[in-house]
Homo-oligomer: A and B are copies of this chain.
Amino acid sequence: MRETKQKQVVLNAVLNSCDHPTAETILMRCKAELPSVNLATVYRNLNALSLENKIRRLAISGGDRFDKTLHSHAHFKCVNCHCVFDIDNVNISDIIENAKGNVNTVLGIDLTVNGVCLSCAKNS
């Protein structure tokens, strides 16, 4: 694997994000640094970085998100503005232990609570 400008820019875009961005959002942030960068390259590097365990890919309804936080944790998604944020006080390891009874291997968990966030509730 070669060290490219593009890969570094994509990694930094995720590491500097606190909002669980989509690939399209990451593309925009990368273009601020490197205007020539392409959406396919962003996806390729997001996939590569996930496999290297440098970032995490989140399967969330309406489009995948990317996360600098590596450990499993729950997320909230607003059905109105589509913002995503962490829910920290959920015991993921309990859920995984419960699952282990009926399966061979547990690889990960997707846990999204859907609802309306506080700021969307205010503006309506």
Contact = CB atoms under 8 A, between A and B. Distances in A.
A96 B113 CA distance: 7
A11 interface: no
A32 interface: no
A115 B111 contact: no
28 contacts: A74-B98, A76-B99, A76-B102, A76-B103, A85-B102, A87-B95, A87-B98, A89-B98, A90-B95, A90-B98, A99-B113, A103-B117, A103-B118, A104-B115, A104-B116, A104-B117, A104-B118, A105-B116, A105-B121, A107-B114, A107-B116, A108-B113, A108-B115, A109-B111, A109-B114, A110-B111, A110-B112, A110-B114
Interface of A: 59, 61, 74, 76, 78-79, 85, 87, 89-90, 95-96, 98-99, 102-118, 120-121
